Structures are given as structure tokens and as C-alpha cells.
Amino acid sequence: MFIILFLIFFLLLSYHNILYGLSTIIILLPAYLVRFSFFSFPTTLLELMIILLFIIFLIKNKKYKKINLKITNKSFNKIPKAWRYILLSWVLASLIGLAINPTFLAIGIWRAYFLEPLIFLIIFIYSINKREDKEIIVKSFLILIFYLFLVTIYQYFTNWNLPNAYIYPNVHRLTAIFSQPNMLALLIAPLASFLFVYFLEVNKKMYYLIASLLGFIILFFTKSHGALLAVSIALLFYFIFEKSYRKFSITICALFILFIFIFTSPIQYFNTFKQQLFSPGIHLQITSTEIRSHLWRNSLGIIKDNYLLGTGIRSFKNTMNKYHNINWIEIYPHPHNIFLNVWIELGLFGLIVFLFIIKQIFISLQEMLRRNNKMFYPLALSWITILIHSLVDLPYFKNDLSILFFILLGLTILNISNED
């Protein structure tokens, strides 16, 4: 009953203002955790919100007449031509992946990771028209971080919803409303990076800075090394690249490096890391780096045998049974590397398209920099955070993360399509 009442409220709110519907979906990205059957059809609250918003978007003011999905430049299209070709190719790659493994579960994954994010992007692109609209989207990021921070702090003191694997005497890692700390870190990391620089470059209101700092605190509590490293590299890029901070940042970095060489053994650390990565052990005390190394090696075995077409969407875990060679290590649902995951599930064509997506993102960022667009740094840091994190985890193939990816993509496209 609560879900029905909420959906009616969401329907009325979205009909009043499409932008409020977009904002609500962003704030409630974790709503995919609310799973149920709708007329015997398995779905999530997040999925129904996107579908309802799309229906309202099409009907209200006959917006469907304004959507232009044509590839050619003969008529106005809010999505640049290069992006039209790339997004069409991404859909085609996903359909090929679905055809390779046409299971019921794969269809559900295809809806959540490919179809619905594209639907959301269309609504996003055609509904945001001015600076104030973008500000509402950014404030939605702020609210999302704020309430997840409150849940995280509550969990810290009470262990509410915390799996036994993360309770003392195990390493205390917080998950908020999720089942794993990495799920929380993957969602928060790009948003915290975005808001921190948004405060410095676009809007000096303190609540943006506070929200970003709360995001960094959440990341600290997750103890996600990948997320913390990704955010650190992104922030380092900003402070060195931005002229007003460059001299100070380079001085601090030089002192930090000097401190490391004087008080630690960086060569020994490098050799240890090299050994864990290239010659991982098989004992019970192996590190997460060694576990990932085994996982990547096995993933490369899958690619070697299926390099052209891959094994299809939602196939990794079942396929890994054939290549898994250390019984006491669990079989993970993905290879903890987005490039390996795309290649395995979408084939070589999917990997090429994904590389073109990354290339076009950086081309778009370069254009924003050329125009002195203030959104360059917030978006650049978000994308750098995602890209670095994607080397050791999967910041796309999850319901909320795929939508977040297309939100950032929508902001990137909008900031090269018009000037504020």
C-alpha cells in the first residue's frame, strides 16, 4: 500500500514539474533495493519511477513531438551528432550481449543497465533548459549524500543493517542501506568529488562544501581503498591543473614524496605490490590485491576463449565456474574491472563502443575547458573518479550506478550543447 501511495504522489509531483520527478529519482537512486512483483512482473521502485516519469514526459505538453532521435543534422537535436552515433552503438552492443545470453535474468539486467538509463537520459536532456534547472539536479546530489551520511553514522553506533562480515573482530566497514561497503563507495565517490569542486568553481554556498565533506567521511567509513584512491587522484588533478593552486599543490606534493622516501620504504612497498599483482599467493591470508589478480587472470582466460562476441549479459559468474581454480575464494559476480566486464559481457564491439564513450567524454570536457565553462572541473573530477575506480571495481553495472553514469553524461552533453 505504501508503494502505491508513493507512486501516486510521485506521479502527481512529476506531472506538476518534470524536473521535480528527475530530482526525486536522483535523491532516491537506492530505491532499486525495494524489489517486488508488479502484476507478477519482477521490478523495483526505481524502475517504476523511471517508467512513470517517461510516460508523463511523453504525454505532458506533447513532449514526444519535440524528441528528435534522427542521426542526421538536418533538424535540431539536443544530443550532438557524435553522441547519437555512440549511444546507438551502445544500445546495439547491449542487444548483441542479450542475444548471446537470452535468459530471463539477462533481460532484467538489460532493462536496468541499458534501456532505463537511456530513457532517463532522454528525459534529462529534453527537460533541463537553464542554469536553475541544473542547480536543482546538483542539490539533489547534496540531499542524497546527506541522508546516506545520517544512515551511515547511525549504523556506526548501532551496527544496524551491517552484515556480520563487517562487524568486529572483522574490519569495521560501513554499508548504510546497502549490503556491501563498495556499493556505498561507488555511489558516493563521484558525487563527493563533484560537489567539492562545484563549491570552489561554481557556487560558493557552504552547504555544497559540507555535503562533499560528508561524502568524504562516508568514503572513509567504507574503507574502500579504490574509492579513496580515485577521489585522491581526482583532487590532485584539480589542485595541480588549476593555476591558482598549482604552486602550492606542487610544493605540498614534493614535501609529501620527500616524507615518504625518508620515513617509509617505497621501493619495498612497490616490490610487495608488484608481487601481489603479478605473482599472487594462494594461501588463506592473501590480500584483496592478490584476490583481484586471480580474478583478472581468470577473466582474461574467459576473454581468450570468447574474445569476439563475449559470453553475454549476466553471464560472468556462471562462465567463471569453468576458469575458477582456487576453491576457497568465492566466485564474484563481476571481474572488478569495467573494461574486462564490458569485453566479457558485450564482446569486442561493446568494448570498442565503451572506449569511444570515454574518448567522447574527454573530447566534450576539452570543449568545455576551451569555452571556460565553470562546470568543467566538477564534471572532470567526477569522470576521473569513475575512471580510476573502474580499474578495480565496477562503477556502472548496477541499477543506481548506471543511472548516475547517464546523469553525469547528460550534464556533460548539456554543457557543450549550450552556454550558460
164 and 272 both lie in a single domain: yes
Q: What is the DSSP letter of 332?
A: P
The range of the structural domain enclosing residue 30 comes to 1-66
The C-alpha atoms of residue 290 and residue 171 are separated, in whole angstroms, by 18
Q: Which of 200-204, 250-254, 357-361 has the lowest mean pLDDT?
A: 250-254
43 and 72 both lie in a single domain: no
Please tell me the total count of domains within the chain. Answer: 2
88 and 56 both lie in a single domain: no
Higher-confidence residue: 20 or 66?
Answer: 20
Q: Give the number of other Cβ atoms within 10 Å of residue 310's Cβ.
A: 28
In angstroms, what CA-CA distances link 198 with 25, 120, 127, 244, 298? 21, 23, 22, 16, 40
The reported pLDDT for the residue numbered 62 is 65
Q: How far apart are the first and last CA of the chain?
A: 43
Instruction: Please identify, among 13, 44, 66, the residue that sits at the C-terminal boundary of a domain.
Output: 66
The reported pLDDT for the residue numbered 362 is 96
pTM of this structure: 0.94
Q: What is the DSSP letter of 262?
A: H
**Cell matching residue 211:** 555535503
26 and 165 both lie in a single domain: no
In angstroms, what CA-CA distances link 52 with 25, 56, 96, 123, 403? 11, 6, 27, 11, 16
Confidence of residue 66 (pLDDT cuts 50, 70, 90): low
57 and 73 both lie in a single domain: no
61 and 123 both lie in a single domain: no
281 and 242 both lie in a single domain: yes
Instruction: Please identify, among 66, 84, 102, the residue that sits at the C-terminal boundary of a domain.
Output: 66
In the structure, how many helices (H) and strands (E) does the chain have? 17, 2
Instruction: Please identify, among 66, 96, 123, the residue that sits at the C-terminal boundary of a domain.
Output: 66
Q: What is the pLDDT of residues 367-407, one digit of tens each?
A: 999 999 999 999 999 999 999 999 999 999 999 999 999 99
The reported pLDDT for the residue numbered 75 is 57
